[in-house]
Amino acid sequence: MSVQNKPQNPNTANNPLNQNEARIRCPKCSTINLSTADRCIHCRVNLLPGQGMGVRLFFLFFFLVLAALFVFLLYDNFIRKGAPNPESFWLNPVSLSVGTLLSLILSIVISTRKIPEYIKYKNRSLQQMNFNIMQSIADLSVALELAPNNARIELLKKRRSLYEKIGDSLNADRDRLTLALDPDAWKSEGDFLSVFGEMDGSVFSWSMRRAAIENLVSNGIAIAVGYCTECKAVIELNRDKKCTVHPQIKGREVEIVIPADFKAGRLKVISKLYHKEPLLKKELIKLLESKEVVALAFCPKCQDIMQLNAQLQCPLHPGSNNKDLVFCMPESTNFTIRQMKREYKSKKGLGLRYVVVFLIILIGLVTLFFVYKR
């Protein structure tokens, strides 16, 4: 006789899945699902929904009613009465016509738009936050991978606060440093000061970033890694970003990392200088041969991101002219591959948009040429 596994009750006492592992609670029936589940195992509801039908219908009818109101005002004031009021900015034929057109466009766009994937994960993270923090962190991590640069700051701040809540100081410090290094970290504050204050917004953002980084380094939360021309090696620098053995030498290609990411920081510096410094090139080859470092690049013959050998060649096409070479630590290989594929897809889509815009402009110019020729 077969035994059917019943869905676990999220309210069961002493349930270790609630906090120790990422799990998704169904918003409809409260069933616990695996973190990778697309639909609830009990009620089959979508666990990563976009914008609900109710919200879409609300915006559709709201803007349609608004368009109808503009049409009524246009008819009542300028068609039936025939008495335009040019002194009113809002109550004139042009404003009402534009308002009607915009309302109709917005009713269609907002009610049919596709919600970006990162927003779906962000919303689910907020939904799961009070139930399973690990799931909330996992969703924020996916959202950060998918989000555009201007949306990353908010997501990083939320994830850092969750790491601090569960006592994960290592990842909290990593996010704190990522925020400090991000050029857009204080952009909104800088823009505000540029508009309403006398300070240059870019100068404010730069000074705040510099102060935040120096504070992290001085407190030992972050360290500086760079190349010393006397040591001929990539080493940890002091707080002034100078070599500890040769204090008069300032490090080159300095990277700021948390102590746990020292190897990753060294790799970043080596990847910038290996083609100039023979000793660093030899060290990089040894790291590749020992599998301590992974080299990734786009192979035009494979048409995919490939892991290269120690000679920086595609294992299937040794003579291929690889593009976009990237070095990473073995544990971040999958993340780096996903990131490279998204960037390649974005560049490809951007190129296609440029071609479409060029063709539209060309067709318009040709049309104008024949019209004026007549």
Assess if residue 124 is contained within a domain. yes
| 282/300 same-domain check | no
| 124/42 same-domain check | yes
| 81/228 same-domain check | no
| 142/236 same-domain check | no
Alpha-carbon gap, residue 272 to 315, rounded angstroms: 24
Task: Select from 134, 163, 185 the last residue of a domain.
Answer: 185
pLDDT tens digits, 244-253: 999 999 999 9
pLDDT of residue 128: 92
Assess if residue 134 is contained within a domain. yes
359: pLDDT strictly greater than 80: no
| 241/276 same-domain check | yes
The residue ranking higher by pLDDT, 109 or 26, is: 26
| 89/230 same-domain check | no
Assess if residue 150 is contained within a domain. yes
Assess if residue 9 is contained within a domain. no
pLDDT tens digits, 6-56: 444 444 333 434 467 899 999 889 999 999 898 999 999 888 877 667 778
Alpha-carbon gap, residue 309 to 306, rounded angstroms: 10
pLDDT of residue 208: 87
pLDDT of residue 16: 38
Assess if residue 210 is contained within a domain. no
| 127/38 same-domain check | yes
pLDDT tens digits, 280-323: 999 999 999 999 999 999 999 998 999 999 999 999 998 888 88
Query: Hey, what are 165's tokens?
Result: 């809540």
Alpha-carbon gap, residue 286 to 272, rounded angstroms: 17
pLDDT tens digits, 169-184: 999 999 999 999 988 8
| 95/42 same-domain check | no
Alpha-carbon gap, residue 247 to 261, rounded angstroms: 23
| CA 41 distance to own-chain centroid | 30
Q: How many domains does the chain have?
A: 4
Assess if residue 1 is contained within a domain. no
| % of the chain exceeding 90 in pLDDT | 49
pLDDT of residue 7: 41
Report which DSSP code applies to 147: S
144: pLDDT strictly greater than 90: yes
What's the average model confidence in pLDDT over 210-219?
91
Confidence of residue 226 (pLDDT cuts 50, 70, 90): very high
Contacts for 305 with CB less than 8 Å, ≥ 6 apart: 296, 297, 298, 299, 337, 340, 341, 344
Type and span of the H or E element at 162:
helix 152-165
Q: Max alpha carbon distance in the chain (Å)?
A: 89
pLDDT of residue 58: 85
Assess if residue 348 is contained within a domain. yes
pLDDT tens digits, 338-348: 988 888 777 76
| Domain containing residue 24: CATH number | 1.25.40
Report which DSSP code applies to 78: I
Alpha-carbon gap, residue 10 to 26, rounded angstroms: 9
| 155/266 same-domain check | no
pLDDT of residue 60: 85
Assess if residue 369 is contained within a domain. yes
Alpha-carbon gap, residue 197 to 56, rounded angstroms: 40
| 43/125 same-domain check | yes
Query: Hey, what are 14's tokens?
Result: 């002493």
Lowest-confidence range among 102-106, 234-238, 257-261? 102-106
| 135/105 same-domain check | no
Confidence of residue 198 (pLDDT cuts 50, 70, 90): low
| 304/271 same-domain check | no
Domain of 353 in residue numbering reads as 293-374
349: pLDDT strictly greater than 70: no
